Structure 1
């Protein structure tokens, strides 16, 4: 609760300057309490949320650009559900569906009219350059290769494994070299969640650790001896092209598919990432990207409400130019939904349909 209070205070501080300029607010939105949208996102969805808010601002240039605040997933949902009114956010972007317990919390706090949209799918893809070895890896093997510590004889010791074959005789006798997203990238959080933490989930010594945050740290903390190199997702394709032979890179599906055959996606946990395997969730390193909005904040027919732009933001999020094949969010790693699913989400946006859960 203390963390939530601090987060709301910080968010309020960001919104306060907007609230303190009534003359400007009167010029832009005389019947609203705020002159711009406030969006919170989970860290793992930050790149997509940034792309969406930027695209909205470019399309509606006469409107003040939205404020975006990225937080750990649980806290982002808590902040969204904290209440209604100009000091609370209007939108939430996350890679996890809001659980029923948080919907009940929302309702308790007066957030009752919630719109839920599926924007598309996010997937973590491991890839190598064309012509190089394509080992079939598991999440457990990736974790064993990159984790800062290994469990040996009842204690955790620094990870000194050098070759993939040291992890499993079925893997190449090649040096472990991986390029991973840097901490500023939303894909880093996705990689931590879907590969690193998934890879250590069934490691008994880690499961026996009592404190959840300590367990997670053992799962996602990476070695710093040069086996793993952090790069921005924007620069990842060019960095992989010039990396030493045998380097495995963490890319978005879009980066692999748009590489002109320069990159080959690796099988992970027995499944090769393709548009079909991601869309069907056969590829386990896949998550749905959700957008939530408070209909209570939208203006009514008389133009009265908390903020302008909720309808326009929903329309932008559902448009083919945003989340369809070739839409600008695909460059941030979004995998589009199928045609029927996209049409259904456009209807949700146009009618501001409330979620029925």
Structure 2
């Protein structure tokens, strides 16, 4: 509770430019957006495009947290000291809806922006291992398990991870830390691969467990590359190198890159739509209709409806939209149209 209070105070201090706005019937002069770490790039790009598209709006204030922390902050209450919008990669659980309701956050708009998928790829024509999430973590983590202890990971070949894997050198190109694709890689593949490891589960602090899952080796086996440059770097890398890329980057490669199956499922548009591919998540947007400016001219902030329109526009979330560089896979056409209607009408969530 103390941490939540600190975050709320911090948001209030970050949005104190309210005097000019009060004269116009609102309590704050800009949107406050909270996002999960994995959806931070999506929130940032939406905020930038929203600011450019609508004349006279101020750039939204943003804060990124783990998904549970982002939703806790969103549900903490209503009023200018609390966020207007949350962008996360997990649907709000019923228990969180009840928390929102108990804190007075009752008029919630829920929308799906698209699907996020991150995958492993190699150059066309190269042999490559079909890996499990657990094997990816065991090959790339800074530490491995030996005799019930964590020791430095010195494996050089995939066959050292599992005898059935080929005798190929472990070489991986991953996006820089803090990027959307890397966030998904950490959350859905690395954490997915290590969360059930006994020695990791026994660690008391959740933050320490995550560190064991997502801290990668620094001996040259994993190289960090700018997110948009991973495909080109992969094409120029030694044979057998694996790249961490988005589904959109795979499509843009013109067939020069080929995706690997992960946990027995090949990433295709069909398997991503069906969420059968393990490294797939839906990106959700939640907004407080109670914060919108009412007909009487009174409210917390302007721009919520316009931000939702931007988030569901074809320019953002459609095929080839600017959010595709974050790894976002567009929803099917009928689903995109339904989300646009929700944005236009500010339709409330019902469970």
Same fold (TM over 0.5): yes
Instruction: Say if 1:115 and 1:355, in contact at 8 Å, map to a contact too.
Output: yes
Larger deviation, residues 115-124 vs 81-90: 81-90
Q: Secondary structure at the match of 1:234?
A: helix
Is 1:256 matched up with 2:250?
Answer: yes
How far, CA to CA, are the matches of 2:210 and 2:305 in structure 1? Answer: 38
Give the match for residue 5 of structure 2.
Answer: 5
**1:66-215 equivalent positions in 2, closer than 5 A:** 66-215=60-209
4+ long deviations beyond 6 Å: none
Cα deviation, residue 245, structure 1 = 2.5
Give the match for residue 292 of structure 1.
Answer: 286
How far, CA to CA, are the matches of 1:290 and 1:227 in structure 2? Answer: 34
Give the match for residue 349 of structure 2.
Answer: 355
The RMSD of aligned alpha carbons is 1.6
Is 1:330 matched up with 2:319?
Answer: no
> After superposition, what is the alpha-carbon deviation per residue over 1:88-134, rounded to whole angstroms, capped at 9, x for unaligned?
11100000111222212211211111100000100111111222223
Match of 1:219 among 196, 205, 213: 213
Instruction: Say if 1:51 and 1:332, in contact at 8 Å, map to a contact too.
Output: no
Cα deviation, residue 237, structure 1 = 2.2
Q: Secondary structure at the match of 1:34?
A: coil
How far, CA to CA, are the matches of 1:70 and 1:206 in structure 2? Answer: 25
How far, CA to CA, are the matches of 1:239 and 1:70 in structure 2? Answer: 29
How far, CA to CA, are the matches of 1:334 and 1:61 in structure 2? Answer: 27
Larger deviation, residues 142-151 vs 241-250: 241-250
- TM-score, normalized by length of structure 2? 0.95
How far, CA to CA, are the matches of 2:139 and 2:276 in structure 1? Answer: 24
Instruction: Say if 1:179 and 1:229, in contact at 8 Å, map to a contact too.
Output: yes
Give the match for residue 336 of structure 2.
Answer: 342
Larger deviation, residues 142-151 vs 131-140: 131-140
How far, CA to CA, are the matches of 1:288 and 1:341 in structure 2? Answer: 13
Larger deviation, residues 249-258 vs 302-311: 302-311
Q: Which blocks of at least 5 consecutive residues in structure 2 are unaligned?
A: none
How far, CA to CA, are the matches of 1:324 and 1:43 in structure 2? Answer: 23
Instruction: Say if 2:141 and 2:217, in contact at 8 Å, map to a contact too.
Output: yes
Match of 1:60 among 34, 54, 57: 54
How far, CA to CA, are the matches of 1:76 and 1:208 in structure 2? Answer: 26
Cα deviation, residue 324, structure 1 = 1.2
> After superposition, what is the alpha-carbon deviation per residue over 1:333-355, rounded to whole angstroms, capped at 9, x for unaligned?
11011111111111111111111
Is 1:240 matched up with 2:231?
Answer: no
How far, CA to CA, are the matches of 2:127 and 2:228 in structure 1? Answer: 24
> After superposition, what is the alpha-carbon deviation per residue over 1:5-34, rounded to whole angstroms, capped at 9, x for unaligned?
222222222112x22xx23x36xx712111
How far, CA to CA, are the matches of 1:266 and 1:224 in structure 2? Answer: 24
How far, CA to CA, are the matches of 2:182 and 2:122 in structure 1? Answer: 18
How far, CA to CA, are the matches of 2:55 and 2:65 in structure 1? Answer: 27
How far, CA to CA, are the matches of 1:212 and 1:307 in structure 2? Answer: 36
How far, CA to CA, are the matches of 1:268 and 1:245 in structure 2? Answer: 20
Cα deviation, residue 218, structure 1 = 2.1
How far, CA to CA, are the matches of 1:299 and 1:94 in structure 2? Answer: 24
Give the match for residue 31 of structure 2.
Answer: 37
> After superposition, what is the alpha-carbon deviation per residue over 1:208-236, rounded to whole angstroms, capped at 9, x for unaligned?
33443333322222111111112231222
- TM-score, normalized by length of structure 1? 0.94
